[in-house]
Chains A and B, each alone.
Chain A
């Protein structure tokens, strides 16, 4: 297992342009040599299947020269990349390793291609001396060999391009997930809520001590639920709803008769697994954009159903609605929905969605996810 991981890391580091590599040189050379042998065997298999071979013992006679040539090609290629790492100015190396930049990809490809051609030249020169097999002569006499060579080069370039695209996608996804988590961490414990609650407790201690106590209890419950959710990436709807419930209860103490809320979810829905902290931003939006700025306030209904293998969670409010101009002062406010959509996309691709619709009055947000049953139904009923 350990060796496999080291080799995989070595394989990765072969293709990355970086000043310093974490994998030892020996392991990297081994990985490169293994690659060369695999390449040689692959090429010979192609020739064996598609080519016309009339000489007896062709396989044995060609194996060693082929491996030799491939070793030359691969090591020269990697040598070229390592040389580029050392010789090019640091900012250029950094730019070229940025997979998101198409020009960097092309420059890297050109560098790799020149390495391959140089490697072939070296290989075709050295190997015949060792084994007495004139490769150049083969090319000169056979136009078909030239065509094959061109096809081979095209194949290498295509493979390179496909690999580059795959790496780009992987890095973007990883970046997305990381960003989403960071934003989550930053946004979670909203300072405004924290200080407002403290101010409430400060004043209620004199006028209404039981209410101050209730407020502290509810706020603690909210914080605890939030902390637990923050550590999880994969949570359950039950845990999500507990957090939403304590949040709404906290706001109800503050807004009094201006806020009513109801939560409807059966045990199957409560046990469903879902990404953590997906429901909370929707409930916060309903309060901040819908009900808090509205003179008479209103109500929030959180409901969840499981239907035909899908989990549908809806947050509906009868507040100001989507049309109302935003009153939030913070720059970047209103990013919650975009963040949630990015997170859904990272995890489920097109298999999940978040829709916002204008209700009359108010707003209705619906999360639609694949249903995954979790252990222990009704944990948080």
Chain B
């Protein structure tokens, strides 16, 4: 079993590692990340079986990192006290660890995690519960329905109907709008867009991606059971993160 631990306070991560190893000697901690961005990159690169993610981290929060995981990595959230998040985790029966670490409690979590065999196929019910909890925790207050997007391009601005948009993809500071007329940059974040777009037509499929279902052509699953989307009129495929895979199960 290979695990990654992410916490912006390294000694907390080290302490958690030592406690975990004492209870679970076969566990191999492959990396300790100091922020959300590093955690996301290393999870994609190392594909660990488990990721212990602190919720409040610089760069990306643990929740955001979880929303971007494409592979089979199973997430365990770590938090000191996030009342609201804990309620959601309890409700969705997600795994979490509380700081300060209580040995007895951690032992129970470890027992639960050990019960899942190495390399087991992802559990769709668990993924769906995770997707639901993340969506609720990260929801922005609802906005007025968004029908048009205004994108600046040098000295000109472009007026886009959202129906023309194939997908939105965030790129560090900006969001790239890919439409039938070309690509544009806007400053609105994925979370803000999500609050204004019609949820029946636009689906978030990744931390950084919202697609327009009207342009969806089909899906493809690769050897590592990762899911990709094809869109009409667009060459490249878009990855779907684990938390959102269940959206396409029923299709």
Contact = CB atoms under 8 A, between A and B. Distances in A.
A325 B189 contact: yes
B85 A329 contact: yes
Contacts of A195: 80-81, 98-100
A203 B11 contact: yes
A123 to B, nearest CB: 60
Contact of B12 (A191, A194, A199): A199
B22 to A, nearest CB: 12
Interface string B1-33: 000000011011011101000000000000000
Given A195-B80, A196-B99, A330-B83, A297 B58 contact: yes
B58 A203 contact: no
Given A200-B9, A293-B58, A295-B59, A192 B82 contact: yes
Q: How large is the interface on B (under 10, 10 to 19, 20 to 34, 35 or more residues)?
A: 20 to 34
Interface in A292-329: 292-295, 297, 325, 327, 329
Contacts of A331: 84
B61 A191 contact: no
Interface string A87-116: 000000000000000000000000000000
A254 B12 CA distance: 10
B35 A295 contact: yes
A141 to B, nearest CB: 69
B38 to A, nearest CB: 9
A295 B84 CA distance: 24
A195 B11 CA distance: 15
Contact of A200 (B12, B16, B81, B82): B12
B48 to A, nearest CB: 22
B101 to A, nearest CB: 7
B137 interface: yes
The main secondary structure of chain A at its interface with chain B is helix
Contact of A329 (B18, B37, B59, B137): B137
B106 interface: no
A198 interface: yes
A199 B100 contact: yes
Contacts of B59: 293, 295
Interface string A191-209: 1101110111111101110
A329 B63 CA distance: 10
A286 to B, nearest CB: 14
A295 B57 CA distance: 9
B61 A327 contact: yes
A206 B15 contact: yes
B11 A200 contact: yes
13 contacts: A192-B80, A195-B100, A200-B11, A201-B100, A203-B14, A206-B18, A207-B11, A254-B9, A295-B35, A295-B37, A297-B58, A325-B189, A329-B82
Interface of B: 8-9, 11-12, 14-16, 18, 35, 37, 55-56, 58-59, 61, 63, 80-85, 98-101, 137, 140, 189, 191-192
